[in-house]
Amino acid sequence: MEPKFDRLVFGDVEEKNIEALKRRIPPADLPRVDMRLGDCHEVAGDVVTEMSQRALGLAFVDPEGFEVKFRLFQILATRRIDVLYLFPGGIGIARNVGAFAREAKAPLDDLIPGWRALKRARLAAGVRLTNDDIAAHDQPFLLEFMNRMRKLGYQYSDQGEPCFTNRKNVRMYHLLFFSKHPAGLTLWRNVTRIEPSGQRRLQF
């Protein structure tokens, strides 16, 4: 992309993934690339400590499931870092919330503290969800997560469109964007109007 980011930091907990990434980076880009092996929360803590308070950043958080804890976003919020997050709505929360509600300690506790108090969570604890129900059952959790992000200072947010769905058109993930500044949201919306081909979507 142009203009290029001054610095790129990639992290993964699996060494094989880091090695695979190294093989894909063009030699000309290596001077601005920093690859780190480790837990994302520890890596993020190190990176923000090294960042200038004046630097602008974008964090792309792309977990496979519930590896990410809300603590990660608290760490990122200490700097001027916008966040792009693949939120595990349908495939993660809606499909598992009933089981999570019956567990004393569940992965969702670390991602959305306080989720058990939501009416939908209490309902799901005793209700078996069908595929038709799943798309609507992640909304309260999504909104609760977004509210908690606002409390960290991320007052400007948006969702990527369309949502990621499976072959049955059931929602799987939400692509969420967060910024502390209105300019960040403007940039995000301008970018999302551009198709991968370079064609711009019409505004209606």
Q: Which two tokens stand for residue 63?
A: 């977990």
Q: Which of 41-50, 86-95, 134-143 has the highest mean pLDDT?
A: 41-50
Reference 78, options 37, 44, 113, 34; nearest CA is 44
The single residue listed with the structure tokens 């959305």 is 112
In this structure, what token pair is assigned to residue 23? 């093989």
> What percent of the chain stands above pLDDT 70?
82
Closest CA to 49 of 71, 21, 72, 78: 78
Q: Which residue has the higher pLDDT, 142 or 120?
A: 142
Q: Model confidence over 56-68: pLDDT tens digits?
A: 999 999 998 899 9
68 CB-contact burial (10 Å; exposed 0-12 / middle 13-18 / buried 19+): buried
Cα–Cα nearest to 112, from 96, 91, 93: 93
List, for residues 156-187, the tens digit of each pLDDT value: 999 876 566 666 666 678 899 999 999 999 99
